[in-house]
Structure 1
Amino acid sequence: MRLTPTERDRLLLFGAAELARARRARGLKLNVPEATALIADTVCETARDGGRLADAIEAARAVLGPDDVLPGVADVVTEVHVEAVFDDGSRLAVVSDPIAGGSLGDAAPGAVLPGPADAAPEPALTLRVRNTATVPVSVTSHFHFFEANPRLDFDRAAAYGMRLNVPAGSSQRFGPGAEEEVGLVPIGGDRIAIGFAGLVDGPLDAPGAKEEALRRAAACGYLGASTEEEERA
Structure 2
Amino acid sequence: MVDAEGVPIHPRPDRHPCFARFPEAPGPRDIRFRILVGSAGWSRLPEAVRLRFSKRTRGGQVALYRGKVIETRLSRAGWWLAQLLRPLGTPLPLRQESGVPAMVCVSEDERSGGQIWSRLYGSHDRLPQVIHSVKSFAGPTGLEERIGWGIAMALTVEARADGLVFSSDHYAWYGFGRRWRLPAWATPGQTVVTHRDMGQDSEGRGCFAFDLEVRHPLLGELLHQHAVFADQ
What's the TM-score bracket when you normalise by the shorter of the two chains?
Answer: under 0.3
Query: TM (normalized to structure 2)?
Result: 0.22
Structure with max Cα Rg? 1
Q: Which of the pair has the greater relative contact order for Cα pairs under 8 Å at 6+ separation?
A: 2
